[in-house]
Amino acid sequence: MSEPTIHAGQMTLADALPHARNTDPATSKQAAARITNKRTIMLDLLRVFARFENGCTAETACGLSDHLNGGWKRVSDLKALGYLSDTGYTMTSARTGRKQALLVITPSGKDELAR
């Protein structure tokens, strides 16, 4: 079973998003079951992204949030909801040496923070 396609404006953080995807390994699903409030995680990440006017990487946002372990997949969910957008620029990670997309909070993401 595939995940539903999410279009900006159709869902909010209050809507249920899967903690783990159907294709994820059992260990990811077990870890996801321990996450009790993904809305809190997503709002925390949005607050971090809001601090960076020109964008930041998911690695940076997860490292600055209180939810590093649960944050990675929530960044993808925030992008799918239209709350984060790819700037088209990349940054090389000091930790991994790989290029990473710079993401920026969207007006919809800012609206969600204001609720």
Structural domain contains residue 2: no
Domain that holds residue 70: 26-114
Structural domain contains residue 108: yes
Structural domain contains residue 105: yes
pLDDT tens per residue across span 18-64: 567 788 888 877 776 666 577 788 888 999 999 999 999 998 888 87
Token pair recorded at residue 19: 């903690």
Structural domain contains residue 104: yes
Structural domain contains residue 5: no
> Is the pLDDT score of 9 beyond 70?
no
Helix axes 68-81, 26-33, angle to 10 degrees: 90
Residues 22/74, Cβ–Cβ less than 8 Å: no
pTM: 0.70
Structural domain contains residue 10: no
The CATH number linked to 42 is 1.10.10.10
The per-residue pLDDT for 16 is 43
Nearest CA among 114, 112, 93, 92 for reference residue 74: 112
